[in-house]
Amino acid sequence: MKKLSMHEALNLALREELKRDNKVVLLGEEIGKYNGVHYVTRGLYAEFGKDRVIDTPISEESFVGVGVGMALLGFRPVVEMMRMDFSLRAMDQIYNHMAKLRYMSGGHLSVPMVLRGPEGPGPNPGLTAQHGQQLTTLFAHCPGLRVVTPSTQYDAKGMLKAAIRSDDPVVFLEPGPLNNKQGDVGEDDYVVPLDQAEVKREGSDITLIGYGASVALCLQAARELEHDGVSAEVVDMRSIRPLDMRPALESIKKTNHALVVEYAWQSYGPGAEIVARLMAEGFWDLEAPVERVSGQEVPLPYAANLEELSKPQMDEIVGKAKQSLAQ
C-alpha cells in the first residue's frame, strides 16, 4: 500500500491498463500535452504518445461519439469529461448509442467504453451551478449503462481498472469533494467488482448508507455518534446501476434502523430508489421509517458559505440518526 490522492489513484489505474492492453485509448479535452485539468492523465501523453492519449476539440458530442465508434471497432476507449456537467452536451450519444447499441443489435455489437470525470462540488468552493452538479440520476435511470462511483482511493483504482476491462459501457463518476484526499492504494494489479456494495464500518445500532463522497460523511458521522454511545454501520453502495442491496439489507437485520445520505438533490434520486428497495425488501426488519439526508434542492451557489450550506451536513446526519433511534 501507498498513500495517494484520488486523482493519483486514477492515474495509476490508467497507466497500468494502457500498459496491459494496447486497445485501451484515452480521449478528452486537454488530457495530453496539458496533462489534464485534474491531473488524472498526468504524464500519460509523454509515456504512451498521441495515438493512445488523444487530445480532442471542445466538443463533447463529437468525442463521445468517436469513443462509441472506437468501442464498436474493438478498442477500449476511456473518455474523460472535464466535468460530468459537460456530458449534457452529449446525452444523445450516451443515451441513444452508448447505452442501447448492444440491445438494438440483438447482442451482436458491444460498446466496451468508459465515460469518466468528476461530478458534484469540488474540494474547493466556487464551481457554481453549472459545474458542480450531481447528475448521477440521469445516468442511473438509463438501462444499458453501468454506473459506479468510488468513495476511497483504493476503490478508485480497482474500480476504474474493472470498468476498462468490462464489456459493458460504464459511467465512472469521480466524487469531486474527495479529489485531493489521500488514502491507501494497492500497488499490485487488482480490480474491485463493479456490482458489489461493501460495509465500510461495522456497527450494531443504525445503518448509514451512502455512495461516492457521501460515504466519507457517513464515516465522519459514525465517529461522532460513537462519542454518544451509538454504534453506526456504514454501507458504501459503490454501484448505482445495478444496485447491490444485499449488504444494506443484511445490515438492517442487525441494526433495525437506516439512514441514506447523498450529495444529490433528494427528489427522484438514487437515494429514493435505495429507500424504496429497503422498504420493499426489508420492511419487517425496520423499527422506524428510513431517514434521509441530501443536498439542498437549489443550484449550487457561488458564495462559499452558501455552497457549504447546500451540501449534506454531518450534524444533520447525526441528528437524523438519533431521531430514528428515538423511535
Residue 135: inside a domain, yes or no? yes
* Whether 84 and 15 share a structural domain: yes
Residue 192: inside a domain, yes or no? no
- What is the DSSP code string of 11-68? HHHHHHHHHH-TTEEEEETT-STT--TTSTTTTHHHHH-TTTEEE--S-HHHHHHHHH
* Whether 173 and 236 share a structural domain: no
Domain boundary among 185, 214, 237: 185
Give the mean model confidence (pLDDT) for residues 140-156: 98
Q: What are the Cα distances from residue 287, in Å, to 179, 184, 258, 322?
A: 37, 37, 9, 13
* Whether 18 and 125 share a structural domain: yes
Chain segment 62-108, per-residue pLDDT in tens: 999 999 999 999 999 999 999 999 999 999 999 999 999 999 999 99
- Band (pLDDT 50/70/90 cuts) for residue 251 is very high
Q: pTM value? A: 0.96
Chain segment 213-230, per-residue pLDDT in tens: 999 999 999 999 999 999
Domain of residue 302: give its range: 198-326
Given strand 76-80, what is the order of strands in its sheet? 53-55, 24-28, 76-80, 114-119, 170-175, 146-148, 239-241
Q: How far apart are the first and last CA of the chain?
A: 43
Q: What is the pLDDT of residue 180?
A: 87
Q: Give the residue numbers marked as catalytic.
A: 60, 131
* Whether 159 and 240 share a structural domain: no
Chain segment 170-179, per-residue pLDDT in tens: 999 999 999 8
Q: For residue 271, give every residue at least 6 positions away whose Cβ sits within 8 Å of its Cβ, in sequence order, or none.
A: 260, 261, 262, 264, 292, 294
Buried/exposed code over 204-220 (b: 16+ C-beta within 10 A; e: otherwise):
ebbbbbbbbbbbbbbbe
Q: What is the pLDDT of residue 191?
A: 98
Chain segment 16-43, per-residue pLDDT in tens: 999 999 999 999 999 999 999 989 999 9
Q: For residue 152, give every residue at least 6 positions away whose Cβ sits within 8 Å of its Cβ, in sequence order, or none.
A: 183, 184, 200, 215, 236
* Whether 162 and 207 share a structural domain: no
Q: Is the pLDDT of residue 47 over 90?
A: yes
* Whether 162 and 296 share a structural domain: no
**Structural domain total, the chain:** 2
Buried/exposed code over 120-157 (b: 16+ C-beta within 10 A; e: otherwise):
bbbbebebbeebbbbbbbbbbebebbbbbbbbbbbbbb
Domain boundary among 158, 185, 212: 185
CB atoms within 10 A of CB 195: 14
H helices present in 126-241, as ranges: 136-140, 153-165, 214-227
* Whether 207 and 181 share a structural domain: no
Domain boundary among 129, 164, 185: 185
Q: What is the largest CA-CA distance in the chain?
A: 60
